[in-house]
Amino acid sequence: MDPLTPAEITRRAFLGKVSQGLGAVALASLMRPSMLGAAQSRGVLKNLPLPQKAKRVIWLTMAGGPSHLETFDPKPKLAEMDGKPMPESLTKGQQLAQLQGKPLNCFGPQHLFAKFGKSQIEICALLPQIGSVIDDICLIRSMTTDAINHDPAHMFMNTGSQIAGRPSMGAWVTYGLGSESEELPGFVVLTSLGKGGQNQPIAARQWSSGFLPSKFQGVQLRAKGDPVLYLTNPPGISKERQHGDVDAINALNRRRDALTGDPEIATRIAQYEMAFKMQASVPDLMDVSAEGAKTLELYGCQPGDGSFASNCLLARRLAERGVRFIQLYHKDWDHHGGVKEGIAQKAQEIDRACMALITDLKQRGLFDDTLIVWAGEFGRTPMSQGGSGRDHHNKAMSVWMSGAGIKGGIVYGASDDLGYAAVENVTTVHDLHATMLHQLGIQHESFSFKFQGLDAKLSGVEGAKVIKDILA
């Protein structure tokens, strides 16, 4: 009994930094997930103030900045204006990236659009599979962001701040709600490369836990090598010997615990057990060979091909196993040139996989409590760059959400006739975060962590709003 004393809490440097309303029980659950029943949240938020529509999130990050004008935002007017100068009233004094100070001419959409589903929503004709599930999707055409270069824009989309050191949304959510898996991390990240060669770098800070405890950091699952870093036993060490060593370590640690009563020792023992479990559960997770030809065909992937489609399938498997936040990065959307060919290539890579993910979650009964978000870090200019491409753009972009109490088959918000700026129901990244937290049962204004004297929040200090109109 002795080790279970109030000193248990001393090891948490963040104690006293947690926001109001978190009781001792919630803290206990954070430290010892197994001590509480599954019915309760395993994070710091014990009693969720809102109904929990989403139990988990699958966030599809289209890294590089997809052009909304060739994917989800049809602009016939822009086609008419092709080659003509952009109206200066729109662009004067505005922030541009590589086009700063260059002539600004309209560049018509490079692909045809078509109407899909009962809702007859118009999206790029190269995305017929997404079109086939469009009635399950809420398309937001009025998203905006603050940043205009890849790195800061990813930081903003992931953490709500352009300054490094803030927790990523996956860390926030796992911190708040804990993980439902005892054998896998609560926040998992997968990346895939595109075939177009515009694979912008992505820093590990994008899935960092920032000032939150490190246990909430995203764990990257890799297609090559160890799926989780250092997961595999050293050469020559069998599973049995590994188990034996872990048992010996834990037995010796238990003796030490009895002597010193240092509560960190009990935690360390639990972590070795968890690590050993992960050594079995992660390979099991990654092994999709039991999925059957039908499923592989649905996603359009081959086991171990490292594709976006493969990662979508893994996302479903992670969702089944209780992982709280699953973030996929698919790269190569940075079409400064050749947007036409680039988008055609990207459509091939993601169209079927996105449809498959929604379909598969539905057929397994997971769709209704899984929130899916599809978003890049910014949109692209209606102006041409170099005659065949588009520059970074933060005044308008398209994102979509699906599942977990989000209305399907609707379009929310609009950009102007040329797709330059969001003009109707303008939304921000903070709004997107607030809405996501809302669906998870979390009140975004009061979900905070004391950092540098401030109640730091994912949804920022500027005032974010839940996008109520898109909630079922």
Partner 1 sequence: MKKSLFLCVLTAGVTRAAELPLPAKIEFNRDVRPILSDNCFFCHGNDPKHREAKLRLDVREEAVKSEAFVPGKADASELVKRIFSTDKDEQMPPPDSQKKLTARQREILKKWIAQGAEYQGHWAYENPVKAAVPAGQNGVDVLVQKRLAEIGLKPSAEADRRTLIRRLYTDLIGLPPKPEEVAQFVADQSPDAYAKLVERVLASPHYGERMAIGWLDVVRFADTIGYHSDNPRNVWPYRDWVIKSFNDNKRFDRFTIEQIAGDLMPGANQETRVGSAFNRLLLSTEEGGAQAKDYEVRMLTDRVRAVGAAWMGQTTGCGQCHDHKFDPWTQRDFYSMGAFFADIKEPILGRREDGITVLDAEQEKKLADIGGQLAALQADIVKPHPELAASQAAWEKTALDAIASGSAWQTLKPISATSSKKNLTLKADKDGVVRAAIDGKRDARNQNDGTETYTITAKVVAGVTGFRIEALKEKSAGVGLASNGNFVLSEIAITEGKKSAIQIGHASATFEQTGFAAAAAVDGVADKKDNGWSVLGGTGADQALFLELAEPLDDADAVLTFKLTFARGENHEIASLRLSATTAPKPVRAPNVSLPAKDIVDVLKVAPEKRTAAQKQKLEAAFKQLAPELSDLRAKIANAEKEKADFEKAAPKCIVSIHSDAPRTVRILPRGNWMDESGEVVKAALPHYLPQKKIEGREPTRLDLAEWLVSRDNPLTARTVMNRLWKQFFGTGLSKVLDDLGAQGEPPPNPALLDWLACEFADSGWDVKHMVRVIVTSATYRQISTATKEQLAADPYNRELARQSPFRLDAELVRDNALAISGLLAPKIGGPSAKPYQPEDYWDNLNFPRRIYPADTGEAQYRRGLYTWWQRSFLHPSMVAFDAPSREESCAERNRSNIPQQALVLLNDPTYVEASRTFAARILGECKGDTAARIRWAWQQVLQRDPDAAEQKMIAALLNERLSAYRQEEKSADALLKVGLAPAPAALDKVELAAWTHVARVLLNLHETITRS
User: Where in 179-238 is the site for partner 1 (CB under 8 A)?
Assistant: 185, 191, 199-205, 208, 213-215, 217, 219, 222, 224-226, 228-238
How is residue 394 written in tokens?
């933060």
How is residue 228 written in tokens?
């989780």
Q: Does 255 bind partner 1 (CB under 8 A)?
A: yes
Task: Provide the β-strand partners of residue 326.
Answer: 58, 188
Report, in Å, the least distance between residue 60 CB and partner 1: 17
Size, binding site for partner 1 by CB under 8 A:
98
Q: Does 48 bind partner 1 (CB under 8 A)?
A: no
Report, in Å, the least distance between residue 221 CB and partner 1: 13
Q: Does 25 bind partner 1 (CB under 8 A)?
A: yes
Distances (CA, A) of 390 to 142, 182, 245, 382, 393: 18, 45, 56, 7, 9
Query: Which residue of 242, 359, 388, 425 would you call a contact of partner 1, by CB under 8 A?
Result: 242
CA 85 from chain centre, in angstroms, equals: 37
Report, in Å, the least distance between residue 455 CB and partner 1: 8
Residues 383-442 close enough to bind partner 1 by CB under 8 A: 391-392
Query: Which residue of 121, 124, 278, 328 would you call a contact of partner 1, by CB under 8 A?
Result: 278
Strand 454-457 and strand 448-451: the pairing is antiparallel
Residues 69-98 close enough to bind partner 1 by CB under 8 A: 93, 95, 97-98
Report, in Å, the least distance between residue 260 CB and partner 1: 5
Q: Does 42 bind partner 1 (CB under 8 A)?
A: no
Q: Compare residues 13 and 293 and give the one whose CB is closer to partner 1.
A: 13
Which span (111-119, 356-364, 366-374, 446-454) binds partner 1, by CB under 8 A? 446-454
Q: Does 239 bind partner 1 (CB under 8 A)?
A: no
Q: Compare residues 129 and 191 and give the one whose CB is closer to partner 1.
A: 191
Residues 304-333 close enough to bind partner 1 by CB under 8 A: none
Which span (4-12, 78-86, 368-376, 429-437) binds partner 1, by CB under 8 A? 4-12
Query: Which residue of 102, 195, 239, 241 would you call a contact of partner 1, by CB under 8 A?
Result: 241
